[in-house]
Amino acid sequence: NLSPIRSSKEQLKGGGTASGPVSFMKGFDAFAGVIKSGGKTRRAAKMVILNVEHPDILEFIRCKVNEEKKAWTLIDGGYDSSFNGEAYSSIFFQNSNNSVRVTDDFMKAVVDDRAFQTRAVRDGVPMDTYRARDVFREISEAAWHCGDPGLQFDTTINAWHTSSNTDRINASNPCSEYMFLDDTACNLASLNLMHFRSIDGEFDVPAFEHAVDVTLLGQEIIVGFSKYPTERITKNSYDYRPLGLGYANLGALLMAAGLPYDSDEGRAYAGAITSLMAGRAYLQSAKIAEHLGAFAGYAANREPMLGVIRKHRKAAYQLPVHKTDSKLHVSQKAAWDEALSLGEQAGYRNAQVTVLAPTGTIGFMMDCDTTGIEPDLGLVKMKKLVGGGNMTIVNQTIPRALHRLGYTPEQVSDIVAYIDEEKSILGAPHLLPEHVSVFACSMGDNAIHY
């Protein structure tokens, strides 16, 4: 988070004006381009954040999209447009994810169509006045053009912060799933949700709970065996022991269950699974704390942490009941009951236990059709063959979903053959209109609305 850097609109003590955070971002970006992640072809990943009240916020919002336009011009001129090609390696800000930190006050100003003011970094005095909706529109349009900046909801993040007596949360990791104290590290692991779909198409709650227990214990063991880049990160990782258990393949699971990704039923199902995972993980953390003691920073943060657990439990009880899986709904409430009850007695071994990571690389290694919490990109996948050429494969979740929705084996074969030929489900034989939304993807002619 570069917000503590004085803005380009503020005076220096010896005369002149400061450079501002965006100018420093150019230097950081160049260094990141030199460093390959893990020594491989992927560039170093980093997150760059600016708070919405920073005087240079508009320059920050526009910086990446302005560079993107330069790349388009180079591509039109014949330069290589690939990830490591000449066009994109010639412009700034390609080695970072940029995010704006917004507050509830700013978002309410957007809703109410009010003005808001930026504030000087040095002394907090008001600087420029903007219409909040104009700034929000700039953020939206820049993200539409190039994917950046993202949004981080600072007020909400800190309201659900388990260690707020130590310090506030200022930033995230590059992919934005891990939010915690400065100078900490998080051990991640993800479960493939499709592996917990039983033969009859229901969600196997006992198997999922067991997987959460075992995986979280493994992650807790890893904390003491991991190597960290600085002494400060090492100390904080030992003192707070944050973990990041998550899942992948949600989009495939929803489709296989016959639920549209964009539906109240789909959201309730996803919410119940997520709630069960987090509640069960905190319960396991409390069980470990019974034997090994709570994390070192727990005593100073007991009240805020228990307060967050109580908020989770309240949210679990407010989840709408998913019409076909009452056992899942009951289990997720029970997990939070137990997690709070045991935590009040024993504390917790870990300050945080879950995240929802993108699982881009590991998702494919785990044979997932969809990554993280995302919907499917398309119903047909293109695979490059080792000996040259390509082949198309119809997503294997589709026949499962069709069987779940009550189609006969012959009807399923006809629909799959149509998709393979037409690369679309629209117009497929036998398909009922009310089932078209189940197969909506993030791209194509049957796309989920943005």
Active-site residue set: 173, 175, 177
Residue with tokens 């100003």: 109
**CA 180, 185, 191: angle at the middle one, nearest 5?**
90
**DSSP letters of 142-198?**
HHHHHS--EEEEHHHHHHT-TTTTT----EE-TTS--EESSS---EEEEEEGGGGB-
SS3 call for 242: coil
CA nearest to 208, candidates 327, 367, 338? 327
CA-only gyration radius of the chain, Å = 24
Residue with tokens 């799959």: 416
Percent helix, percent strand, percent coil in the chain, to nearest 5 = 50, 15, 40
- Residue type for 146, please? C
Encoded tokens for 316: 């679990």
Q: How, if at all, do strands 115-119 and 97-102 pair?
A: unpaired
CA dihedral 91, 87, 74, 99 (to 10 degrees): -40
Encoded tokens for 431: 């398909």
Strands annotated E in 196-283: 243-248
